[in-house]
Amino acid sequence: MATAWNKLKTLMRGQARISMEQIVNANDMLLLDQQLYETEQSLRDARRQLARLMAEEKLNQRRADELSRQSRHYEEGARQALAAENDVLALDIGKRLADLEQQQSRLARQGVTLEQQKTEFQAFIKQAADTLKTLRQEQSMARSQETLFGESRQRHQDQRGLAQRLCDSQHTLQQIQQRQEECRLLWQSEAQLQGDRLGDSLDQRMAEAGIGDHQSRRAEEILAGLKS
């Protein structure tokens, strides 16, 4: 009886220190399941031992009742022996009564001890059962919270993934826009260079045809003015 009782006490002390807020992953939940299972098994063992203790108490009471019956029987025999002045028989009966008295005293002490153990055991088993019930309720709440936390973590991961994809898309778009701007500037530069080349060619052709040489005509006009 002491083994199961001590084991149950040890398990319940350990369970009482568990905070359901510390349940953070599946391994912790599995560990808690195992601990509560062991506690339930120890509680069943304790109840069986309590039943044996109560049976022993009843057996002790039956023995005490039987000794009381024998004592009454021999007391009556002693009275009759004394009435018949049979002192030898009366003395033998007295010795038997003394022996029965010792046995009754021993059974009475055992009865008190058994009653105390039964009362203490019953109180502790009730406390253990109530604590176990509370732990099971908190475990159920912890499972629900763990599910919610898991869903919240998944949503957070999804949001981070979406934000990262948006950031990547924005970066890619910026790269495309930058390349387009570079292409536009390159095209403008090439167009300007092409225009400059066309302009130079046209001026050269006009000069060769004697057209548009404004600088030469102006120089002649200046010299003519100086001569006059």
Domain boundaries, the chain: 2-173
Rg over CA atoms, the chain:
56
What's 2-173's CATH class? mainly alpha
Which DSSP symbol is given to 21? G
pLDDT band at 21; cut points 50, 70, 90: very low
| Eight-class DSSP state of 85 | T
Tokens, residue 50: 């309590």
Q: What is the pTM of this model?
A: 0.51
Residue 159 has pLDDT above 80, yes or no: no
How much is the pLDDT for 112?
92
Band the pLDDT of 2: cuts 50, 70, 90: very low
Question: 213 or 108, which is more confident?
Answer: 108
Residues 6+ apart with CB under 8 A from 61: 111
